[in-house]
Structure 1
Amino acid sequence: MRRRNEGIVSRGFLLGRNILVKNYSQLQIGDFVISKRQVVHGASGIVPAKLNKAIVSNEYLVAVENSDISTEFLAALSSLPKMKRKFFLSSYGVDIEKLFFDVEDWKGRFITIPKLGEQLKISAYLKELDQLIHLHLLEREKLVTLKKAMLQKMFPRNGVTKPEIRFKGFTEDWKKKKLGNISDSFSGGTPSVANHFFYGGNISFIRSGEINSKSTELTITELGLQNSAAKLVNKGDILYALYGATSGEVGISQVNGAINQAVLCIKPHSGNNSQFLSVWLRSQKTAIIGTYLQGGQGNLSGSIIKLLEVDLPGAIEQQKIGNYFEKLDRLIALHVTRLEKIKQIKLACMEKMFV
């Protein structure tokens, strides 16, 4: 049994002689199971087909449906805050991690439910939403896995001058060049927070946690820009987080704005593709952090990034590779957006479809 309403999982397969508990229940598809010691943490769920006829000890409560209530409806109801409170009120103990569920007390509490026919319709609708959520999760995971695999195969391994997979028509060796030799780069600064005339203007102020954002929490004025080391960047520039919690993160600026000292702007020279270089930098994040931020300590710097050696194909191949990964990122983001919308729809329905 998993916490946080994540359902039921197998804990292994045992031969009859290896079953040490004397009292146990055999489950059927669709039974609703509650962990008596973890229910306050959301440990409950419907028995899936793959666990039909599995057994559980008397540490678990097994509820079966009848003419009054559907277990699918009960499962949905159990995820609501008011039912979670009932679970809590029907538990006893001094340690939140070890509270024990008083089944008889819980049975004596009241819930409000519609007739069985309406329960089944509500449950079926919520199940459809869950299936859509699961579908988008799977699609996103497939794309993330594909991207990871292609990052390994579309860039040369160490000591090799050609990648394993290439677009048709490209055969030339890739060449190593220092990032500082194929791009210009600079970091910014922060206007004094003591001067309120420096903030609240129309210049987006991009900090390291916002390098992929379409908007920024802070804006600065032209006066703030002129009286600080903040530097202007353009939409489409490569932004690299130098230090802080986001060290090594890479983004393509979504806005025209200014950067602070924790962000490095990288502007590739003509013939070098921003999308390609940003993909390469992302693929190298683990190696860069492992080399220059030992134990998570220290900061990256513009001088470190400039000295990184990049494996480079020709300009056209760079563009094709950059476009390919940009398309993958858009598809991943699309599934994430759809996933969040469906989750919001389900949350709204849960709030309005139950009394």
Structure 2
Amino acid sequence: MTKRTPELRFKGFVDDWEQRKLGDVTKRVRGNDGRMDLPTLTISAGSGWLDQRERFSGNIAGKEQKNYTLLRKGELSYNHGNSKLAKYGAVFELRTYEEALVPRVYHSFKIKKEAVADFIEYLFATKRPDRELGKLISSGARMDGLLNINFDEFMGIKISLPTVVEQEAISEFLRALDNTITLHQRKLDLLKQLKQGYLQKMFPATGESIPKVRFADFDEDWEQRKLGDLSDIVRGASPRPIQDPKWFDKSSDIGWLRIADVTEQNGRIYHLEQKISKAGQEKTRVLTNPHLLLSIAATVGKPVVNYVKTGVHDGFLIFLTPLFDKEFMFQWLEMFRPKWQKYGQPGSQVNLNSELVRKQDITISTCEEQKKIGIFLKQIDDTYKLHRRELEQLKKIKLSLLNKMFI
């Protein structure tokens, strides 16, 4: 028997959910009243409704705008284009505008008294309707990326609904959670902007020797040097063949740094899951003290501060015997990273090498000032990391709730 109640629901609701066709509880919206001065929007599976001027740096509707659909606040559209985030398209309610023009190719609709718009949006966010939508697709996406699902077919898919009161309770709860997620995302965005602002002001601009912002009691000009003057820059080494299990040993206290570790820990390594055996250690460079690295493989130019005893892969350059503060140099390399990109791309021959890095000019301050700058910017990074972890946890909670609060 088909399950008629969700795994998790609010106290006081015990009735079975009712299976209906989407078209039973919604009504089509199409056409417009001739006003062309309204916002023109597009749906992003990851972000919802976006103004075309922000998404595409301009209105891309062109002459087709006269055929756009007038959507009012509380009404919904289904973008039946497939993407990595939404294989069978995405549905969003219009909430941030009173009225807007949306592409005619979207299937736009409004709810009847038996449904709540927010609930319908969250229902599609669960991906539960994907099974129904998948049955309608006889071939892949068209040339324009849209799935060949027409409006009547879309309206014919089966959905499960509780009472309107329960729909409202579920929607209000999830919307509050979404608002919290949005606030955390804004904090992250602001921290990122703050960090970029400090990077630009706490390091001298090109051709200058004094930064715009600096700590008290520091007034000396910064000195131009080459990276090769400040450290012995060498390349890591790899045991061959790298996939041979004899090179790895879980009981070892020496880690093995991989590109995946750099990506997951965002450049500061405190833990390495994979350990390298004594045989492997003899075939690579092993460092036991905290050290600065520069990735020249898949993440070209990504700086790494490694606090773990580790064997270093040949996809990294190692800064040995440094005459600089590691955290300071990490920040400078992170800022400089875009200029390294031209030396290598994932999947192609890597051209960024130790000689190029050694010859790179850098304007640098005294060690005392470097330490202050490094500590200050790391504090921002740590705060960002904390908020990002909280945001990821909230998103996981939402995903779990979507799975448990809907049939």
Residues 36 and 221 of structure 1: CA distance in aligned 2, closer, same or farther (over 3 Å): closer
In structure 2, what is the equivalent of residue 42 of structure 1? Answer: 89
Identical counterparts, % of pairs:
25
- 1:90–1:103: 8 Å Cα contact kept in structure 2? no
CA separation in 1, counterparts of 2:369 and 2:189?
27
CA separation in 1, counterparts of 2:344 and 2:105?
47
Residues 181 and 104 of structure 1: CA distance in aligned 2, closer, same or farther (over 3 Å): closer
Residues 350 and 196 of structure 1: CA distance in aligned 2, closer, same or farther (over 3 Å): closer
SS in 2 for 1:251: strand
In structure 1, what is the equivalent of residue 362 of structure 2? Answer: 310
- 2:114–2:164: 8 Å Cα contact kept in structure 1? yes
TM-score (norm 2): 0.75
In structure 2, what is the equivalent of residue 255 of structure 1? Answer: 308
> 1:1-355 alignment to 2 at 5 Å?
1-4=42-45, 6-10=47-51, 20-21=66-67, 26-35=70-79, 41-50=88-97, 52-56=98-102, 59-90=105-136, 95-96=141-142, 97-193=145-241, 196-200=245-249, 201-202=251-252, 203-211=254-262, 212=267, 213-216=269-272, 218-226=274-282, 228=283, 230-234=284-288, 236-241=290-295, 243-269=296-322, 272-290=324-342, 292-293=343-344, 297-355=349-407
SS in 2 for 1:89: helix
Superposed CA RMSD in Å reads: 3.0
- 1:4–1:41: 8 Å Cα contact kept in structure 2? no
SS in 2 for 1:245: coil
Deviation at 1:132?
A: 1.7
Which segment is superposed worse, 193-202 or 159-168? 193-202
SS in 1 for 2:128: helix
Residues 124 and 180 of structure 1: CA distance in aligned 2, closer, same or farther (over 3 Å): same
Q: For 2:73, give the aligned amino acid.
A: I
- 1:35–1:61: 8 Å Cα contact kept in structure 2? yes
Query: What stretches of structure 2 of length at least 5 have no aligned partner?
Result: 1-41, 54-58
Residues 66 and 170 of structure 1: CA distance in aligned 2, closer, same or farther (over 3 Å): same
- 1:177–1:309: 8 Å Cα contact kept in structure 2? yes
Q: For 1:2, give the aligned amino acid.
A: I
Query: What stretches of structure 1 of length at least 5 have no aligned partner?
Result: none
Residues 179 and 86 of structure 1: CA distance in aligned 2, closer, same or farther (over 3 Å): same
For residues 174-193 of structure 1, the C-alpha deviation after alignment (integer angstroms, 9 at most, x for no partner) is: 11222233333433312233
Residues 345 and 158 of structure 1: CA distance in aligned 2, closer, same or farther (over 3 Å): same
Residues 109 and 182 of structure 1: CA distance in aligned 2, closer, same or farther (over 3 Å): closer
For residues 46-101 of structure 1, the C-alpha deviation after alignment (integer angstroms, 9 at most, x for no partner) is: 11242x23345764444333432101000111122221232343466664534343
SS in 2 for 1:140: helix
Which segment is superposed worse, 193-202 or 134-143? 193-202
TM-score (norm 1): 0.85
Residues 99 and 220 of structure 1: CA distance in aligned 2, closer, same or farther (over 3 Å): closer
CA separation in 2, counterparts of 1:95 and 1:333?
38
For residues 304-332 of structure 1, the C-alpha deviation after alignment (integer angstroms, 9 at most, x for no partner) is: 32332321111221111101111111122
Choose between structure 1 and 2: higher helix proportion: 1
Q: How many pairs does the alignment contain?
A: 344
Q: For 2:277, give the aligned amino acid.
A: T
- 1:3–1:42: 8 Å Cα contact kept in structure 2? no
